[in-house]
Amino acid sequence: MRRLRDDRGAASILMLAVGLVLVGVALIVVTGGAARVARHQAGVAADFGALAGGAHTIEGQATACAVARRYVEANHARMLSCTVEGLEIVVRAEVRLRIYPASADVAARAGPIIAVPGPVLLAGDPRPSRIRPDAEGLRPGGPSAADILEDGPVR
């Protein structure tokens, strides 16, 4: 008669359990890495779309968003939304994960520079001028470039 306390084969069960835990951890790490890569790809697509569309905001939302969509799709992403307010465009792009039923979406904004730090040299002007840090930027109906400069128009 065999003894009930015989532990032959227990090491096999233990190694199987350890192996399953390692496979589970590896799957979690791979899924996390894929999600991180997808988020970066969505960010790149949204950035490129916003920058490309930002150059066309003066032509209207339809044109700017069409250009943005072309750049987002060229970066293997899907554009979720595109809004234009004045000279500012906001693009949201999504990238689906291939190994897991999820997606990563990122928003990017592009618009005019409001203030430039440091001296700005204008053509034909030997003295540096400074742009006021509280300037609203060049928007339709907003202040002109001469209004933004501290020293007034360059003569």
The strand order across the sheet containing 78-85 reads: 78-85, 88-96, 103-110
Determine the pLDDT at residue 107: 95
Percent of the chain with pLDDT over 90: 50
149, 143 contact by CB (below 8 A): no
Please state, in angstroms and rounded to a whole number, the distance separating the CA atoms of residues 140 and 111. 13
- Using the predicted structure, report yes or no on whether residue 146 has a pLDDT greater than 80: no
Model confidence at 113, in pLDDT bands (50, 70, 90)?
Answer: low
Q: Is residue 5 included in any domain, yes or no?
A: no
Please state, in angstroms and rounded to a whole number, the distance separating the CA atoms of residues 114 and 131. 9
- Using the predicted structure, report yes or no on whether residue 63 has a pLDDT greater than 90: yes
Determine the pLDDT at residue 112: 78
Q: Are residues 77 and 143 in the same domain?
A: no
110, 51 contact by CB (below 8 A): yes
Q: Are residues 73 and 128 in the same domain?
A: no
pTM for the whole structure: 0.62
In terms of Cα–Cα distance, which of 72, 69, 64 is closest to 44? Answer: 72
| pLDDT tens-digit map of 78-110 | 999 999 998 899 999 999 988 778 899 999 999
End-to-end alpha carbon distance in the chain = 111
Q: Are residues 79 and 58 in the same domain?
A: yes
Q: Is residue 3 included in any domain, yes or no?
A: no
Question: With 0-12 CB in 10 A as exposed, 13-18 as middle and 19+ as buried, what is 98?
Answer: exposed
Determine the pLDDT at residue 131: 45
Q: Is residue 2 included in any domain, yes or no?
A: no
Q: Are residues 92 and 16 in the same domain?
A: yes
Number of folded domains in the chain? 2
Q: Are residues 19 and 63 in the same domain?
A: yes
Please state, in angstroms and rounded to a whole number, the distance separating the CA atoms of residues 38 and 48. 15
Q: pLDDT: is 33 or 133 the higher one? A: 33
Structural domain for 135, as ranges? 114-155
- Using the predicted structure, report yes or no on whether residue 4 has a pLDDT greater than 90: no
Q: Is residue 57 included in any domain, yes or no?
A: yes
- Looking at residue 48, its amino acid is F
Determine the pLDDT at residue 144: 52
Q: Are residues 94 and 32 in the same domain?
A: yes
